[in-house]
Amino acid sequence: MGTDKIKDIFENIDQEEVVVLTEKLIEIESHKESVQRESAVAYYIQSFFRSHDIEAWTEEIYPNRPNIYAKVGKSDKSYKRIILNGHIDTVPAYTMENAFQPKRKENDLYGRGAVDMKGAIAAMMVAMVTLKRYYPNLAGEVIFAGVIDEEERAEGARHIADSGNLTADIAIIGEPTELKIMPAHKGMEWTEVAFHGKSSHGSTPNAGINAVYHASEFIRIMQENLLPELERREHPVLGKPTLNLGKIIGGSDPNVVPDKCFLQFDRRWLPGESTESMIEEFNNLVRIQKKTNPSIEVSVRRMSETTGYHPPLDTPFDHWGVKALEKGVRTLFGRDPEVVMFPGWSDGAQLANGGIPSVVCGPGRLEDAHSGKEKINMNELYQAAVLYTYFALDITGRGKNESGK
């Protein structure tokens, strides 16, 4: 791509347009506590695209919860197709004051969803409009996919993967990476271990069976057996799997022997592991515990009602899509691109599971997401729109068999 064309991209994108659009998206609540869920923001995005003569449509995944899609370019199967993906849901306000009233302060824009991830959504929308306005002769196709439910069960992206209704050669996921390129991350799984005892008055503890005691014994067995085993496993990119005991529920009052106790774990897992193998690891701990206490009542289950299925993402670092993003960062911003693992989880894993190679690359810092002071750097928003536009122009002009390096 020539110097003049690169200069045109910078000139054809207005930073203020990206920021104003982000502000509008922040104002439209789209979290689990809002009556409209994701529908209001999805229909706003659809209206925005149609006002710019871009084909856009929705697909209801659950009642009042639609995915929103748009496309520009030509459906020529001899050229590459890309997906620009982001989730249109956010977490609720929680401790953030005036969370849905966006505020500019110095170089940052504050508001719930600013960084996770309505900022990236806005940058992708502006990239789509830029392509439609100034580059109408794209040989390939660019699809925008705004999906529901990433903050919970990731059913929006999973639907795309399972249905096969959208296909592409590469997907860019706009989770916050400070525009670093992140082709891989661990999977996420939540597991609950439930202990059942017998209640009695606290003054007669021997008349009951203390479920909390059984749970504490299980924790010790877990620390002595499973944690060392996880330390011995390592992926060349993703490192070691992790296990965190994040929540303990047990007991009703100090003067009552607790008859129930629940341990809830967060497990970050690697390619080669599976939900079945992780459940079996917990069951093995139960077997160890029952050797000394065979009468213990305990059950293990996946918390799939909360998390659904969250596999790992493992796109090779030398994939042509990664190399094309590296080229874009180097060409546009004059810096060496960083290619590292993503510390969180993304819908890219669902898309990759459905046969669409995916890479995480978006504006903002992950540590600002979900926080009481969620924010995004406004210049980085602009840079994201420029990078997505450059990447689309670069990739869609390539034939299906071109490596893209």
- Give residue 7's pLDDT: 84
State whether 64 and 179 are in the same domain.
Answer: yes
Question: What would you report as the CA-atom Rg of the chain, rounded to the nearest whole angstrom?
Answer: 24
DSSP string spanning 106-164? TTEEESTTIIIIIHHHHHHHHHHHHHHHH-TT-SSEEEEEEES-TTTT-HHHHHHHHH-
Domain edge (last residue) among 280, 307, 334: 307
CB-CB contact of 209 with 250 (8 Å): no
- Give residue 405's pLDDT: 47
Q: Which helix (H) or strand (E) holds 277?
A: helix 275-292
- Is the overall model pTM greater than 0.85, yes or no? yes
Residue 386 falls inside a structural domain: yes
pLDDT in tens, 58-101: 999 999 999 999 999 988 888 899 999 999 999 999 999 999 99
State whether 354 and 321 are in the same domain.
Answer: yes
- The mean pLDDT value for 41-51 works out to 98
Residue 401 falls inside a structural domain: no
Domain edge (last residue) among 272, 291, 307: 307
pLDDT in tens, 256-303: 999 999 999 999 999 999 999 999 999 999 999 999 999 999 999 999
Higher-scoring residue by pLDDT: 189, 138: 189
Domain CATH number, residue 104: 3.40.630.10
Q: Please state which of the ranges 76-85, 183-192, 315-324, 349-358 shows the lowest mean pLDDT.
A: 76-85
Residue 399 reports pLDDT greater than 60:
no
Q: Which of 352, 348, 355, 14 is nearest to 172 (CA)?
A: 348
State whether 286 and 357 are in the same domain.
Answer: no
Domain limits for position 322: 3-185+312-396
Residue 402 falls inside a structural domain: no
pLDDT band at residue 400 under the 50/70/90 scheme: low
Amino acid identity of residue 189, one-letter, is: E
State whether 301 and 160 are in the same domain.
Answer: no
State whether 121 and 194 are in the same domain.
Answer: no
State whether 41 and 174 are in the same domain.
Answer: yes
pLDDT band at residue 398 under the 50/70/90 scheme: low
DSSP string spanning 44-69? HHHHHHHHTT-EEEEEEEETTEEEEE
Residue 403 falls inside a structural domain: no
CB-CB contact of 376 with 119 (8 Å): yes
Q: Which of 83, 144, 109 is nearest to 18 (CA)?
A: 109
Residue 99 falls inside a structural domain: yes
- The mean pLDDT value for 219-231 works out to 98
Amino acid identity of residue 64, one-letter, is: N
Buried/exposed 327-354: b ≥16 CB within 10 Å, e otherwise = bbbeebeeeebebebbebbbbbbbbbbb
- Phi and psi based region of residue 101 (left: phi greater than 0; alpha: psi -120 to 50; beta: remaining): beta
CB-CB contact of 38 with 88 (8 Å): yes
State whether 173 and 107 are in the same domain.
Answer: yes
- The mean pLDDT value for 129-153 works out to 94
Other beta carbons within 10 Å of 125: 28
pLDDT in tens, 384-396: 999 999 999 999 8
Residue 90 falls inside a structural domain: yes
Question: What sign results for the dihedral spanned by CA atoms 152, 261, 232, 280?
Answer: negative
Residue 405 falls inside a structural domain: no
State whether 179 and 74 are in the same domain.
Answer: yes
Question: What sign results for the dihedral spanned by CA atoms 293, 294, 295, 300?
Answer: positive
State whether 30 and 157 are in the same domain.
Answer: yes
Amino acid identity of residue 206, one-letter, is: N
Averaged confidence pLDDT in the chain:
95
State whether 319 and 283 are in the same domain.
Answer: no
Residue 223 falls inside a structural domain: yes
| Percent with pLDDT over 90 in the chain | 92
Q: Which helix (H) or strand (E) holds 84?
A: strand 81-87
Domain edge (last residue) among 279, 307, 335: 307
State whether 105 and 238 are in the same domain.
Answer: no
- Give residue 71's pLDDT: 97
State whether 282 and 326 are in the same domain.
Answer: no
Number of domains in the chain: 2
**d(C-alpha 270, C-alpha 260), whole Å:** 32
